[in-house]
Amino acid sequence: MAAKRGHETGKPTKPKRSVKFRKAKIRHVIFTLGADRLTGGWLGRRHDAQAPVTRHVEISTPAWPRDLDGIRIGHVSDFHFGDLMSLDKALLAVEALRAESPEIICNTGDLVDLEWSGVEPLAQAFADLNPPLGNYFVLGNHDELDSADEVARIASEAGLHVLRDDTFTVRRNDADLTIGGIDWARTPPQCQSRIDTMVERGGRPDILLCHNPKGFDHAAELGIPLTLSGHTHGGQIARRNKPDANMAFAHRRSAGLYENGHYRLFVTVGVGAWFPLRFNCPAEVVIITMRHGQPDATHD
């Protein structure tokens, strides 16, 4: 079908952008492009040269199923594919995951920054890792700015399990592992509503993928052992050796591991960025090993 054309110009009509998209575009021009131009491109060059680090975390809790002891989870989030995340830079995180060979990979959203067009090779590279227990993805707030359905379609067609308020169960040895995921939700009540819908559809998962860490309290109320989130970027600027003392003022859980009873939340600071500066908060690929046992955690 031919594209619709304007009556006067004869040019194809551009899709109408949402108010949220237009506001995000303005912020992008000011904080992403503008900040870089003010420094003569220095910020952008410095940011582009910073590869993600690989972080290892081991979590032990009696809430984790005994039959799933020792599972290794690759957790990434917030690629923000666009002006601050080229395909070549994004592939550094993909290769870091490949080198670790986790059993399962969980991406907690914001695959794109603004426009979804062009992200197909990254989604395919991510899916090609093909971990034995699957490769899972949920939508973040930036994935919804242009078209949530298009981002979900691209990820699904590449081979990722896109979880939209539902669950997926796989077998690990002789035990079931259930992964749940919800679409972007901004507030705790919105998170709660989506989590409840997910549980009604597929039961309580062992792992919840929730872009916004504000869903954790309700996940803990429901007895979900592990919640994985992103969204905060760890503020991108943090105090040295204190990653949770950072610029993410809107979030009391903004970087690293948190607990509520025996239930655990891990918030990754992400792979990408929305402004070209990270200070004491390097981009990361996280490998989590889950243990059934007394509460404990180790980090590197």
- Categorize the per-residue pLDDT at 14 as very low, low, confident or very high, splitting at 50, 70 and 90: low
- Using only the alpha carbons of the chain, give its radius of gyration: 19
Pairing of strands 263-267, 284-292: unpaired
Percent of the chain exceeding pLDDT 70 equals 95
* Residue 272: per-residue pLDDT: 97
Q: Could you report the per-residue pLDDT of 86-102, keeping only the tens digit for each? A: 999 999 999 999 999 99
Neighbouring residues of 67: CB distance < 8 A, sequence distance ≥ 6: 172, 173, 174, 175
Torsion of Cα atoms, 113 then 105 then 240 then 264, to 10° = 110
Q: Could you report the per-residue pLDDT of 154-184, keeping only the tens digit for each? A: 999 999 999 999 999 999 999 999 999 999 9
Whole-model pTM? 0.93
CATH of 19-299, one of 3.40.50.720, 3.40.190.10, 3.20.20.150, 3.60.21.10: 3.60.21.10
Average pLDDT (209-223) is 98
Neighbouring residues of 97: CB distance < 8 A, sequence distance ≥ 6: 74, 76, 105, 129, 285
Alpha-helical (H) ranges within the chain are: 19-27, 35-38, 42-48, 87-100, 120-127, 143-146, 148-158, 188-202, 216-221
Percent of the chain exceeding pLDDT 90 equals 80
Q: Could you report the per-residue pLDDT of 103-143, keeping only the tens digit for each? A: 999 999 999 999 999 999 999 999 999 999 999 999 999 99
CA distances from 213 to 13, 102, 198, 288 (A): 38, 23, 16, 17
What is the residue-wise DSSP string for 4-71? PB-TTT-SBPPPPPPHHHHHHHHHIIIIIIIHHHHTTTHHHHHHHT-PPEEEEEEEEETTS-GGGTT-
* Residue 15: per-residue pLDDT: 64
* Residue 5: per-residue pLDDT: 40
**Mean pLDDT value across the chain:** 93
* Residue 290: per-residue pLDDT: 98
CA distances from 63 to 59, 150, 206, 241, 242 (A): 11, 36, 9, 29, 27
* Residue 40: per-residue pLDDT: 85
The more confidently predicted of residues 94 and 244 is 94
